[in-house]
Structure 1
Amino acid sequence: MAHSALPSPGPGALGVEVAAEAVWLLPEHALWWPAGALLLVADLHLGKAATFRARGLPVPGGTTARNLARLSQLVTRCAPRRLVVLGDFLHAQEAHTPAVLQPLARWRGRHADLDVGLVRGNHDSHAGDPPAALGIAVVDEPWLLGPFALCHHPQRHPTHHVLAGHWHPAVHLYGAGHDRLRLPCFCLDAGMAVLPAFGEFTGGMALPAAAGRRRFAVGGGSVWAVPGG
């Protein structure tokens, strides 16, 4: 169900109902729950480019700074009480370098009053938790908040609606002349919603239409429902 009458948190956002709660799907690949003053993102993979460079692959830098700048813009606009990352905060152990941790520490200093949490994902188990000095609460899934079970891995929960990441969901859109466009998307199934990856340089997994599934493509600064789900 759409909630276009809700006060919008910014241009291009789409209001929908999840677990009988009004939430916003944001074009920045985030979910905003106004009633809980909760901002959710998934799969930052901070330091992924640095990890690739450390392993001998010549990829460009700057992704950490851009990811943190986008996150700051969201925090400023939505003014959440709490920000939760649904797993894969750091990409690997090689992300524990000054090139990644120093910008992250400066970002945390600019948002020192913000309650930040991390639900551990599969990459977090290899990368390790963020430095304790950052003041980020780190928990294992599921983290139950209101009607939601905050997870990294998409799954079902017996009593709560799951909000998760991990899949980096995407959708293929087809046009005339055999045109095809691949875009990140939000994927809403019964009892579960999966967020697109927030981090740059993360790739994606195309999810097909399925019974009861709603997919919401993200592109051009907007979120919109994919026809036919």
Structure 2
Amino acid sequence: MNPYLPIELEQTELWLLADKAVYWPGERALLIADIHFGKAAAYRRLGQPVPQGTTQANLQRLDALLAQYPSRRLIFLGDFLHAPESRTPATHAQLLAWRQRHPWLEITLIRGNHDRRAGDPPMELDIGVVPEPLLLGPFALQHEPEPHPSHHVLAGHLHPAFRLQGRGRQSLRLPCFCIGERISLLPAFGAFTGMLEVGAEDAQRIYVVGEDSVWRVR
């Protein structure tokens, strides 16, 4: 198992994590894209039979990452809440209980397209909300993967995945990090999200995640 893989980007060390996040050791920052809290709850309110427990599962994964990687800051690259229908009492209670376990943590949300519809997180979660881009070191932290004139973009939004080809017609599609010349993409962190398949031409380097490991395929 290889739970993280260090890379150098813009003369900065970043760790690509097998749990679909980025750790920036120099800033002691954890970067999370597209967590989509309350997506399953929103679908259930629309009458769709979808799994329960996804919010708690995402929070437990966050707890594990914060325990493993010493962080003073957590930055969400957009799409914190999935929709207005995500604002259920159960989801709110779970988020608030989680926040109370981490009162020391500075949390920032860069608004994504779903955030603009769902609204900002409740004030009691103590999350700073900013528009994109958030400039930090050599990076423009964004939700949309649009180029920035002076900074390398780290973004989400597309939920990238890469298809590994096996023998015959066998193949496996896995979430991936796409590291490009000026724009790099993080996979969606959320446990209940779709994926957009990308090709080798979409990035200079592709790192897939699966089975608690991360490795380069292109």
Fold match, TM over 0.5?
yes
Q: Which residue of 2 aligns with 1:58?
A: 49
- For the pair 1:29 / 2:29, whether they are aligned, the reply is no
Matched AA of 1:83: L
RMSD: 1.1
Greater relative contact order: 1 or 2 (C-alpha under 8 angstroms, separation 6 or more)?
Answer: 2
> Partners in 2 of 1:95 and 1:211 — Cα distance?
32
Counting only pairs closer than 5 Å after superposition, residues 89-108 of structure 1 correspond to structure 2 as: 89-108=80-99
State the 1:12 CA deviation.
Answer: 2.1
Q: Does residue 112 in structure 1 map to residue 103 in structure 2?
A: yes
Report if the CA contact (8 A) 2:163-2:197 is conserved.
yes
SS in 2 for 1:52: helix
Q: Structure 1: how far apart are the matches of 2:198 and 2:80?
A: 23
User: Could you list the per-position Cα deviations for residues 194-224 of structure 1 after superposition, in whole angstroms to 9, with x for gaps in the alignment?
Assistant: 1000001101000111176211000011000
Match of 1:134 among 125, 128, 131: 125
Query: Which residue of 51, 76, 79 maps to 1:85?
Result: 76
> Which residue identity does 1:77 align to in structure 2?
Q
Letter in 2 for 1:114: L
User: SS in structure 1 opposite 2:98?
Assistant: helix
Q: Write the distance in 2 (CA, Å) between the matches of 1:223 and 1:190.
A: 20
Q: Which amino acid aligns with 2:11?
A: A
**How has the CA–CA distance of structure 1 residues 211 and 165 changed in structure 2, closer, same or farther, with 3 Å as cutoff?**
closer
Give the secondary structure class of the aligned counterpart of 1:45.
Answer: coil
Structure-1 separation of matches of 2:108 and 2:214: 25
Cα distance change of structure 1 residues 211 and 99 upon mapping to structure 2, 3 Å threshold? closer
Query: What is the CA–CA distance in structure 2 between the aligned matches of 1:11 and 1:126, rounded to whole Å?
Result: 37
Q: Matched residue of 1:35: which SS?
A: coil
Q: Superposed, which structure 2 residues align to 1:1-229 within 5 Å?
A: 11-210=2-201, 213-226=204-217, 229=218
Question: 1:32-83 deviations in whole A, cap 9, x for unaligned?
Answer: 1101111101000000000000001011210000000100111111121100
Instruction: Find the residue that maps to 1:200 and give its secondary structure.
Output: coil
The change in CA–CA distance for 1:121 and 1:173 in structure 2 (over 3 A counts) is same
Counterpart Cα distance in 1 of 2:2 and 2:58: 19
Shift of 1:19: 1.2
**Matches of 1:173 and 1:213 in 2, distance apart?**
17
Q: Which runs of 5+ in 1 are unaligned?
A: 1-9
* Count of residue pairs the alignment pairs up: 218
CA contact (8 A) 2:37 2:80 kept: yes
CA separation in 1, counterparts of 2:32 and 2:52?
Answer: 22
TM-score normalized by the length of structure 1: 0.93
Tell me the distance in 1 between the aligned counterparts of 2:11 and 2:60: 32
Identity of aligned residues (%): 52
| Structure 2 unmatched ranges of 5 or more | none
Task: Tell me if structure 1 keeps the 8 A contact 2:178–2:202.
Answer: no
Distance 1:96 1:218 in 2: 30
Work out the CA distance in 2 between the residues paired with 1:214 and 1:145. 22
- Structure 1 Cα separation of the partners of residues 200 and 174 of structure 2: 14
Structure 1 CA distance, aligned partners of 2:176 and 2:149?
25
